Amino acid sequence: MRSVVIAILLLCPHTLRAAEPVKRPNIVWIVVDDMSANFSCYGEKLIQTPHVDRLAKEGTRFSKAFTTAPVCSPCRSAFITGCYQTTIGAHHHRSGRGELKIMLPGDVVPVPVLFQKAGYYTCIGGFQATGDKLGKTDYNFEWKPGMYDGNDWTGRKPGQPFFMQVQLHGGKYRGQGANKNWQARVLKELGSNTKPADVALPPYYPRDPVILQDWADYVDCCRYTDKEVGDVLARLEQEKLLDDTVIFFMTDHGISHARGKQFLYDEGTHIPFIVRGPGAAKGVVRDDLIEHIDMTATSLALAGIDVPKWMHGRDILAKSYAKRDAVFAARDRCDETIEHLRSVRTGQFKYIRNYLNERPHLQPCRYKDDKAIVQKLRELHTAKRLDDLTEKLLFAPTRPAEELYDLVTDPHEVKNLAADPKHRATLVAMRKKLADWEEKTGDMGREPETMAMYDSDMKVYLSSGKKDSTDVLQRNIDLNKKWAKEGK
């Protein structure tokens, strides 16, 4: 009889496993600020990033991952809910911070709430969390701090699975202006600095010493981020947690530059995205299009938690997953600067709609204009020392209402095909695809932000900062109100 039982168990091992409790994986999100896919596993030749490369080698790397918002707070509002920021009213950068608040619509809740209900310990912090301070949230809606149990997984009960967000400073290390302190830190901790002369720039940025040094400092941010990723992996290994943990590595949007952060070109929207751990295939590279909000739905599914129907993100590791034929992105007001941009991207084409096309690309913006690279670009523009391409893309007084790019032949998005009769059919199809998405998802950006909400948020901005900086901000606010009144 005993031999019969053993034979049955050998032939049907699932009968034994069914009696055992299912072990749920830990979920760790590593989210990096202001960084494009400048890692060696993504083809960056200037530096080596062994720890991010290890994630890719031991997991699944997505080559065509894109954020739905190329600026921090809308992006983070989107991935923490798994919804398009334009659907939940969180599309304006740093909005809802004043007297007027933004509430999530319907049944939508931040994903930590769902993890908590499922018995997970939820936490958010930097790699080395101290005290009770939580890591970066930056959500544009009202939320309860209690949805996070702490800033590190050490506070969980024995055997309790955890959902941890590790927030890394990324591209923000290089600061706004001169980066002497950052360069010294890189030299001390990494042993060398990237040489500005070795940097390869997009064709629309001049090889000016300020621009080159800034890009070199940015690349060193990527090296330092790789080091921090290695620290996270080492800790998980030391605590014998790595084999039971799914790691997502992602940046919130691309490099902060004149055509990157805040804009819908690939420089601002294309991000690295890697999944390693139980449920993710090893050493696989996927070239299908995904959105950053897919991280949320995929995490829930891996944890055995039902993905809510209101969530736009998809489980990209599911056997039944249907690949996206397009991804979408939106940019609205950033700080005091009013804007309304939308885009749709397929494997070959990018369509951008500039709803406020009578405004220049580099609108006045205190945050952007405080950057040494933007100041240098404006200086070169004034001195008429920029080439025709840079002048056209960055300093034309107005923009075309529509932009269309063939990303296969024009990866830097410099040749606008929207007026080319040969691409008329593609233009019409992409225009319709975007319009259908705006309608289907209930894009709240179709209605301008009320001046009451704008004033509510600007009051917060004006209440902090030095007088000179505040004076600049007030001038920009007055200009934006003037342009809005004029219909620009």
The sign of the torsion formed by the CA atoms of 48, 49, 54, 57 equals negative
pLDDT of amino acid 127:
59
Is 160 strand, coil or helix?
coil
The total of other beta-carbon atoms located within 10 Å of residue 197's CB is 10
| Pairing assessment for the beta strands 60-66 and 245-251 based on DSSP bridges | unpaired
pLDDT of amino acid 130:
63
The count of residues in the chain is 488
The sign of the torsion formed by the CA atoms of 435, 439, 444, 446 equals positive
In whole angstroms, what is the distance from residue 446 CA to residue 440 CA?
12
In b/e form, how buried is each residue of 291-304, taking b as 16+ CB within 10 angstroms?
Answer: bbbbbbbbbbbbbe
In whole angstroms, what is the distance from residue 223 CA to residue 193 CA?
10
Residue type for 210, please? V
pLDDT of amino acid 4:
34
Which residues in the chain come in under a pLDDT of 50?
1-20
Nearest to 167 by CA among 82, 269, 80: 80
Residue 315 CA from chain centroid, whole number: 18
Residue 418 CA from chain centroid, whole number: 27
pTM of the model: 0.94
pLDDT of amino acid 59:
98
Nearest to 66 by CA among 265, 337, 230, 208: 265
Q: Are 3 and 139 in contact (CB under 8 A)?
A: no
Domains annotated for the chain, with CATH where assigned, are 24-322 (3.40.720.10), 331-450 (no CATH)
In whole angstroms, what is the distance from residue 419 CA to residue 405 CA?
11
The total of other beta-carbon atoms located within 10 Å of residue 153's CB is 24
pLDDT of amino acid 17:
36
